[in-house]
Amino acid sequence: MRRSNFALRLQPSLLEELRKAAESEGVALNQLINVAVAEKVSALRTEEYFRERGRRADRAETLRILERAGKEKPPLEGDELPPEWQKKPGRKAAKGRDSASKRGQKKRSAVR
């Protein structure tokens, strides 16, 4: 692994907090900073990954698949919805809920 040096200017109060955290974790200050930077970079990359996946998503198709999923198969033990989340008899879906799937149907039928 190639090592590099980087002069980092920190507020004295932040540096003190970092030193305390490193001591409580039982690691060197340099190691704590390396891990913190790696975690931040990972979080940023993950956010960008999901943003890109979201741009390519077909919401109507996703809703169609989810609507079909689990039909005629009861959930496995532990996968049930909490009672307060389950549908109440006679209740309708929230307003506008079906509009995405209807748009997808229109788009698919126009393509055919």
pLDDT of 93 reads 59
CA dist 5 and 10 (Å) reads 15
Mean pLDDT in order along the chain per 10 residues (112 residues): 86 97 96 96 95 92 86 84 78 55 53 50
CA dist 33 and 29 (Å) reads 6
pLDDT of 69 reads 79
Q: Is 63 exposed, middle or buried (CB count within 10 Å of its CB: 0-12, 13-18, 19+)?
A: middle
Percent of the chain as helix, strand, coil, to the nearest 5: 60, 0, 40
- Distance of alpha carbon 110 from its chain centroid, rounded? 33
